[in-house]
Each structure stands twice: as structure tokens, then as C-alpha cells.
Structure 1
């Protein structure tokens, strides 16, 4: 049977307090309280670097049923990036043939603090009404402290707006993933907090993938003679990513095929001259409907973002690299979900086409990237 710690508190910066029981490691953890609506995929969520510095509320009522395995983590080393976990019920036993240990065992091993037994529906409604907010989980001896003292600690943490977090999650050094079968293309992938499923989606298609740290100068990636460039997902405020925006502008000026997702979408949009803003409570889940204004197709998508580009559904606008368009928007709130040059040379989406976890509706976007590189190769050969 799963063991648990004693009394725990979730303290929000607006003074709301939820009382429950701790699980995983014991102590104090701070971050931004957010919620995700996926019914599955908690391991992928917790190991996604985009959740760095966030206390993740899972709206599914029972968590831990499928335990933890060594295959589904979305960070290279299996690191849990979420700052803490907030759930209603913790499964008392693991029931999955792939599991090698329990969720709580892994959280203890990695020092991740959780709180269970709270009304996650009430918390989610509070976050929807008031927005994502600074918070803290306190368990064990930390939970015995005066609530006013805990609230002061929560309020003192740095805000998510203005946070430059990509440098904290990116790879320390370049590494290369060789393709399955014959190498068709070479892509340089900027790791802004990349999920392992993303380069896997490329290597499965015959793409040699050279993963480089965030902010790697354009001159350095040119030595790899890339057929295309990929900009990954990642945490933090895109308004702080000035260096990467400048690099992307160099890539666009060089007319290299470019594909971005999530944080990469915001960086490409900024390179086009668009502004960004912080969403009230973000899009986090695996059931978000997005319409493609170029085709009229609607995809159900996997998403995790708290910031977005400012733009209107389907609008076209001028950039330094030719006309561009808002290609995708969310059907729930008209949030910008994709931008592209009308030439097709560069495009990005706000959601996760690698779908780990989530639906596979948007997976063909990787094939679109390959088609773009193929067309570029033919143009170069004919030239």
C-alpha cells in the first residue's frame, strides 16, 4: 500500500488555503498553480520541461493507477520538471504491466512534493475565475507554520511574467540523434525545453536531428549544413527571449525552412513583429480544439502554454520576410494557435503535434516540415 505523509497545505497568493494530506517528498515547494484537463498522461506532464516552476493540478479525480515507467518520460534523463503535484485521490496500488514503480516512489526519489485529498474541482474553478496564481505546497513540519507566514513566503516568489526559464531547462551541450534508416535530412533543433517525443518524431522520418542549447548563434548551427531548423516548446515568458528572436530572424533571412511548436510559435511570431501576452489561466490538456484557417480542418490537440501571441483569427500582415498569416486559432477563445509565412517557408503551431500524451490529429505537421525541406532541396539542386 502507498504510504503518505501527514497534514499538508496548499496556499494561494490571494489568501485561499486548501487543506489536504501530503504525498511524495515532504517539505516546501513554490510555483505557479495551474491546472491541466487531461484524463491520462501524468508522467508525460510532470516530466515536460514546459511545466518548470509550476504546481500542476490534475483535474482527473484519481491519479497514480498506471504507476511510473522508464519509457514515457518527456525529459532525456527522466527528470520531473513540475514544481509540485496537486490531486484529489492517489491510487493505493499500481495496475499496469509497464510500471516499474509507483508515482509516489518516483516523487520521493526526485524530491517532488505533492498534496492529495483536496477538492481539485473547486481549485480549478477558482483558477478559471481568478487566473493562474503564485502558490506553495507545505507538508510535514512546514505545514505546522503560521498560515500568514506561509502566505508571505508564497507572495515573495518571483512572478512567471518576465521569467526567462529556457536557460534553466535547455541541454548543456549539443547532441545528435541519428535517423531510423537512411538519412534524408539534417535538422538543427533548438532545445528551449524540448520533449523527447519531438526529436523521436523526426528521427522516425529519417531526419538526423542535431539538438543544440537555447540561444546557440546562427553562425554555429550553419556548420551542420541543416536542411531545416526546429524551435521547441519550453517554459517562461516569450517576451524575455530576445536572443532567440534575433537568431530566428537570421534563419528567416537565410530562407531556411523553419518549424516551431509552443514556445517556438511565440518566438517565430515575435520575429514577425507580433506581441505576446499572458493568458488568464492558460491552455493545458489533451482535448483543445483548433481550427486551421487555411484548410478549415479542426484538430483536437495537446497543449501546455500560459502565454500567447496577440492576433486575430485568419488575419494576414506584413513582415520583414514577406506576408504572414495567423493560420490557426483555438475554437474555445480565439487564441492564436499558429502563424506562418505565406510562402510556406516558416510555420509554427502553439500546440504539441508529437502528442505525448494526447491525440494524433496534428502529427502530420512533421510531414509538412519534411515536404518543405524536400521542396527546398529541389530548388537548390535546380539552381
Structure 2
């Protein structure tokens, strides 16, 4: 393991703000939209969540890497974040079950990062100024050159990224003799979602993002799941059309995160880029149908337009965020189709919302 702790690194934001720190991970340069996650644990799951593709992650927990990396806890086959910004970068780890250090993991995954940053000050800056692009470099400290490179990076708004992170070929997950079958539209799915289905004796077939409804239907599933994923949902006309056709089939459908936004778009509800997204494992949500509350795991930079839903005669609100009143869940009137903006598979995070998988399985039956 190479010790880069003495090498300088630099973080430059789109608005010209500059932070100086130390190199973490691979020596190099990386760009992306900067965002922050307030979770106190689960950094490996964050790194490997395809929904973070193209984003530089700021972790607000003071220590990153302290319990190492365990291969089986990855949420996908690769590191998905574009870069890491953290306070204390721990190349030594304490967990005996870990397979490697975070440094070895990043070197294998070609991940560029920066440590020894005042992440509290950085997060306050992002909260005040809103989402923006950024660049990290440990190979050049020339701010002018980095700003020129950063100016060429496109905004996340308008980007279609699901087809980049989706599986290239269909695959199965779970027990083939299970009584229920669900077709999964993979827009950037996390492994723990599939585990939640197999734990409920549901056999899934995972299809690439641009698979047609007809091809999925030929497998004769009992229902459909539309996954989480990265990018702007408004740039995904192909997926909106697929969701419309799923809905018209009258088979049960469940969507999470990006899947939630696509269900809204399929019913005439617009989506919008948030000033700052929701990313963490302690977001309070109220289930207004059951009149109960749950603490949720969240990761999204786009949301559905609340006014559109309130005026809609097609969908109704099922869940709301207690911090900002944003829409966290909807269901389609007269259909077995529902979705939530947050992550009930909760990896990482509390398990308060896993009842949603049970509700979907009940629909399938």
C-alpha cells in the first residue's frame, strides 16, 4: 500500500472556491457534481451505489476507512462515485472481517480523493450555494488549469446515466422455484434490493435499462420493479414509456427513487432538480395512509413537483418528508402501482421501511 498522506491535493468548486488537502486513493484528477451524505456509517455501500455515478461524494462523518472494506458488502460490482472528499482518511482499519484497506480499494478502483478538508465548512457552503460541479486533483495544483477543465463538465441536469450503469445482459437472482416472479428494470439497482426480494421468496430477472416492456413481459412475471439509478429522470423518455406500458398491463409495480420519479412522469407529474438533494440515513418520513412515521435512508438530487401531484387526478400522495414537506411516496389511483423516493432496502440505514417490500409481495399474491 502506497502512503500518499504527505502529498498535497486540491479541490476546486464551480463557483471558484478552493480547498487544499492531502491526496487519498489514486493520484490523478477527477470531476463530477459535488454532494454530501450525512450518514455515520456505510461508506462502502455509498461508494458502490450506482445512483452516485458521476458525483463527488463529501462524507460528513469524521472518520472514513476506519473499519476497512469487505467485498461482500458492495452494492454493485464497481466503485460508482467519481471522487471522495473527507476529513480523516484512515488507511489502517480495525475490523478483522475486512478484506482490504480503503486505500488499496481505491487504488484498485482508480478512485481519486482528497482528505484533511474541513468538511463541515464545505457542506455549509454547498447548502448555501446549491449543487454544483467540482474537480479534485493530486497531480496538479494549478487552479487556473483546473478551472478550465472543470468548465467543460456538463451539469447533471439533462444527463441520462442509467444506461451507463445498468447491466448489459439480463440475469436472475434468487430461488428459481420460488412461487413469485418479478421483472426488474435495472436503472442502477443496488444488490440489497434484490436480496430483499429473495428473502421474501421472490425470484427476479434483472433486465437492462432500455429493455422493452414486451421483452420483460415475455418472461411472464407476476409484477414489475423499477429501480433506483443516477441522472435526470426527465432525460429518460425510453424508461417513462416502459413504465406507462407496465402500468397499462395492470400488473403490480413498485418503484424506488428514480423508479418513483419515472412513475410520476408516466402520470403527467413533472420532476425537478433540487437545490440540495437528500443523502443520509436519518430522514424522517410520514406515511400519511397509515398515520405513522419512519426514519429513512435517502439518496436523490431530483424530486417530483409537489404542486403537480396535488392537482393530479391520477396519483395520490402516500408519504411526505417531515423536514421539507417534499413528496416521498405516491400511488396510482385504480392501479396496483406505487413508489417511494427513499430507499427501503436501507443499506446502509434503519429498517423502518422494509414493510414496503411486504406490501408489494402481498400485491403479487
Residue in structure 2 matched with residue 191 of structure 1 by the alignment: 186
Residue in structure 1 matched with residue 129 of structure 2 by the alignment: 130
Question: For the aligned residues, what is the CA RMSD?
Answer: 1.5
How far apart are 1:342 and its partner, in Å? 3.2
**Pair 1:313–1:96, CA change in 2 (3 A):** farther
In structure 1, C-alpha distance between the alignment counterparts of 2:73 and 2:311, rounded to whole Å: 39
Paired residues, number: 364
Equivalences for residues 178-257 of structure 1 within 5 A? 178-179=174-175, 182-257=177-252
Which whole-Å deviations, capped at 9, do the CAs of 1:20-53 have from their partners, x for residues lacking one? 0011101100000100000000000000000001
2:270 maps to 1:271: no
Gaps of at least 5 residues in structure 1 are 375-383
Q: Secondary structure of 1:156's partner?
A: coil
Deviates more, 1:338-347 or 1:306-315: 306-315
In structure 2, C-alpha distance between the alignment counterparts of 1:53 and 1:218, rounded to whole Å: 28
Length-normalised TM-score, structure 2: 0.97
2:53 maps to 1:52: yes
Residue in structure 2 matched with residue 117 of structure 1 by the alignment: 116
Residue in structure 2 matched with residue 81 of structure 1 by the alignment: 80
Equivalences for residues 1-383 of structure 1 within 5 A? 3-5=3-5, 6-75=7-76, 77=77, 79-140=78-139, 142-143=140-141, 145=142, 147-179=143-175, 182-312=177-307, 315=310, 317-319=312-314, 324-343=315-334, 345-374=336-365
Gaps of at least 5 residues in structure 2 are none
Which whole-Å deviations, capped at 9, do the CAs of 1:57-82 have from their partners, x for residues lacking one? 0000111111001111000x2x0000
In structure 2, C-alpha distance between the alignment counterparts of 1:292 and 1:204, rounded to whole Å: 24
Length-normalised TM-score, structure 1: 0.92
Which whole-Å deviations, capped at 9, do the CAs of 1:75-130 have from their partners, x for residues lacking one? 0x2x0000000000112420112211101110011110010001000000001001
In structure 1, C-alpha distance between the alignment counterparts of 2:91 and 2:213, rounded to whole Å: 51
How far apart are 1:135 and its partner, in Å? 0.2
In structure 1, C-alpha distance between the alignment counterparts of 2:319 and 2:267, rounded to whole Å: 16
- Whether the 8 Å CA contact 1:314–1:327 is kept in 2: the answer is no
How far apart are 1:315 and its partner, in Å? 3.7
Q: Secondary structure of 1:15's partner?
A: coil
Which whole-Å deviations, capped at 9, do the CAs of 1:281-302 have from their partners, x for residues lacking one? 1000001111111111111000
Runs of 4+ residues over 3 Å off in structure 1: 312-316
